[in-house]
Amino acid sequence: MSEWREIELGEISKRTTSGGTPSTKISEYYDGEIPWLNTKEISFNRIRSTEKTISESGLENSSAKWIDKNSVIVAMYGATAAKVAINKIPLTTNQACCNLIINEELADYNFVFYAVWNNYDELENIAVGAAQQNLSVGVISKFTILLPPLEEQKSIASALSSLDDKIDLLHRQNKTLEQMAETLFRQWFVEEADESWEVVQLQDVAEIKNGFAFSSKSYVDFSPEHLEVLKMGHIEKGGGLRTDPKRDYAPREERLERYILDKGDIIMAMTDMKDNVVILGVPAMIDESDRYVLNQRVARIYLKNRNDLLNEYLLYVQLKDPDFIAELQSKANSGVQVNLSTASIKESEILIPPMELQLEKGNSITDLYLKKECNDKQIKNLTKLRDTLLPKLMSGEVKVAN
């Protein structure tokens, strides 16, 4: 530790800059091939792709600049303020991102990424602003981290990166597994469907129930015996459970017992913002029994029995279908928020293939989801290991050689 020193982020950066947005909202500016990162995509991860793109003319008409790969990007505004990512592709960012292009003669970019991540709470506390939390390029440039010698930086970063690379690989495998399951279902049970196959309302085969109306006063500090309150923020925009939602906890009480979720339950977001509909009607499947308690405006869906559908996976793959979600979203009540009624979910239609065909073909789909669940367990274990090691390695308490 005697060779470790405090240093400002600006001192180890070749360039520190914010991104930008085209000054005029012309559609052609936003229709290009340049990856364009916004702060909602920053969440302690490695950026390998972006939702949005910008054109060359859009880039020229903004203050944004090309950012080299392996730069450290810190969110400055809003709910993601102080979260950090490292980009694995060249890209540009919007104005809410602070981009640190690291001088590799002085610091290892992966180490800097983990150092900022490790100091998230401290950096978040610096954020200022009444309506929303704000940081600035200047504040981030002056932020100090502990920096060991360069070779030690690389060793520490390599240990942590190996875990994150494995986690990232498993996430990408899971996307492939889900895509395969969806493709097989569509081929066997949609494209090759017979007109005689039954189509029923969801309520005919499944129970659909609402969550409990928690208030912020209901929440308590984390304790192993407490329940994690499952809210809409737990649902990924493409479906499935998020790995890093904002977590709140509630004590075990008799009044909450009927809202405790079981493994295999399907949840569905019932509310979203009108101007940015992302998760409305999007499902996720619960991965663990007796861990979560359901919040209001999230529906709980589970099979009444297995007489009509072989298992919950053959239900989930239908509820996750983009056409099903779009149809469900079209029935939402519109206001400042868009809301799905329980009745709309109950009355939505699903396909019931013949049971003999489900038994013949459905197990292949089930096996893909079971493989995904195995990957999910590995992701949890690796994430826990990384999160345990991170502060110990970044403080020098644990040496890589050990």
76-93: pLDDT as tens digits: 988 889 999 999 999 999
CATH topology match: 5-146 vs 198-352: yes
For residue 111, how many C-alpha atoms fall within 13 Å in the half-sphere facing its CB?
26
Of 186, 202, 204, the residue nearest 323 (C-alpha): 186
Q: What is the pLDDT of residues 329-378, one digit of tens each?
A: 999 987 778 999 999 999 999 999 999 999 999 999 999 999 999 999 99
Residue the block writes with tokens 């690989």: 169
Per-residue pLDDT, averaged over 195-214, amounts to 95
Question: Crossing angle, helix 355-395 and helix 109-118, to 10 degrees?
Answer: 90
pLDDT band at 130 (very low <50, low <70, confident <90, very high): very low
Mean pLDDT of the chain: 92
For the domain spanning 198-352, the CATH number is 3.90.220.20
pLDDT of residue 51 exceeding 80, the answer is yes
Model confidence at 132, in pLDDT bands (50, 70, 90)?
low
- Rounded average pLDDT over 152-158: 96
Residue 276 has pLDDT above 80, yes or no: no
For the chain, what are the domain ranges? 5-146, 148-175+355-402, 198-352
Q: What is the C-alpha separation between 333 and 356, in angstroms, rounded? A: 39
Report the topology of domain 148-175+355-402. Answer: Helix Hairpins (1.10.287)
With CA atoms as reference, report the closest residue to 250 among 280, 271, 219: 219
- Strand bridging mode 45-47 / 333-334: unpaired
Of 63-67, 124-128, 212-216, 339-343, least confident by mean pLDDT is: 124-128
Threshold 0.75, pTM exceeds: yes
Overall fold of domain 5-146: Adenine-n6-DNA-methyltransferase TaqI; Chain A, domain 2 (3.90.220)
